[in-house]
Amino acid sequence: MSAQKRVFLKVVILGDSGVGKTCLMNQFVNQKFSREYKATIGADFLTKDVVVDDKLVTLQLWDTAGQERFQSLGMAFYRGADCCVIVYNVNNSKSFDSVENWRQEFLYQTSQDECAFPFIIVGNQIDKDASKRAVSLHRALDYCKSKHGSNMIHFEASAKENTNVTDLFETVSRLALENESSRDDFVNDFSEPLLLSKPLNNTSSCNC
């Protein structure tokens, strides 16, 4: 197979402990879900080859620790990100309250332009009983709208039931690609990419 130019994109996934960051990433990359909770220590990454609008892309997805005692280790990996995903659990109000703290911490650590840098906010675990809901879609959209001038998109998802996970990472890929400017591209062999060429849908909000 002939070598094609490949774009290398870095995505950082943040959010409180237990919201499902690892599970979302595993569902997208390995099509697997585990009920077992194993805390991420520092940060860990997986890669996935995708095609976005005829461009070959290697996504490097960094899963960072939500647990406070491991967080400072993970911050070292924020640098060079092309997109940031912040996850909360729709059944846990505190995890939603933390979203803005994660965003501010990321902006502080990376000195990114608050208006230009792309953030994707994800309400995970929507598969659980509706009576357990603590964060309504309305509340989440209001938060996004309140960040006037920011490049922010909101999704709801379930890593367990694989709801919206592909659409979520398709949007991540597109936003990261748009944002990518000064990062290194490289030429590499290309094998079995996931084709991401259909129009975006299932985005529940708001490019503020």
Ligand X SMILES: Nc1nc2c(ncn2[C@@H]2O[C@H](COP(=O)(O)OP(=O)(O)OP(=O)(O)O)[C@@H](O)[C@H]2O)c(=O)[nH]1
Binding site for ligand X (CB under 6 A): 15, 17-23, 34-35, 37, 39-40, 65-67, 124-125, 127-128, 158-160
> Within 98-159, where are the H helices?
99-110, 137-146
105 marked among binding-site residues: no
Would you say 102 or 117 has its CB closer to ligand X? 102
Would you say 6 or 15 has its CB closer to ligand X? 15
132 marked among binding-site residues: no
Would you say 158 or 179 has its CB closer to ligand X? 158
Min separation Cβ 67 and ligand X, Å: 5
Q: HSE on the CB side for 131, CA within 13 Å?
A: 0
35 marked among binding-site residues: yes
CA distances from 167 to 127, 130, 133, 170, 203 (A): 17, 22, 22, 5, 8
Would you say 34 or 146 has its CB closer to ligand X? 34
Helix or strand (DSSP H, E) at 47:
strand 43-52
| Single-letter residue type at 29 | V
For the chain, report the end-to-end CA distance as a whole number of angstroms. 42
Phi–psi pair at 88, nearest 5 degrees: -130, 165
98 marked among binding-site residues: no
Min separation Cβ 105 and ligand X, Å: 14
Q: How far apart are CA 163 and CA 116, in angstroms?
A: 28
Min separation Cβ 72 and ligand X, Å: 14
158 marked among binding-site residues: yes
Q: Binding site: what residues are annotated?
A: 17-23, 33-40, 66, 124-127, 158-160
Q: Binding site for GTP: what residues are annotated?
A: 17-23, 33-40, 66, 124-127, 158-160
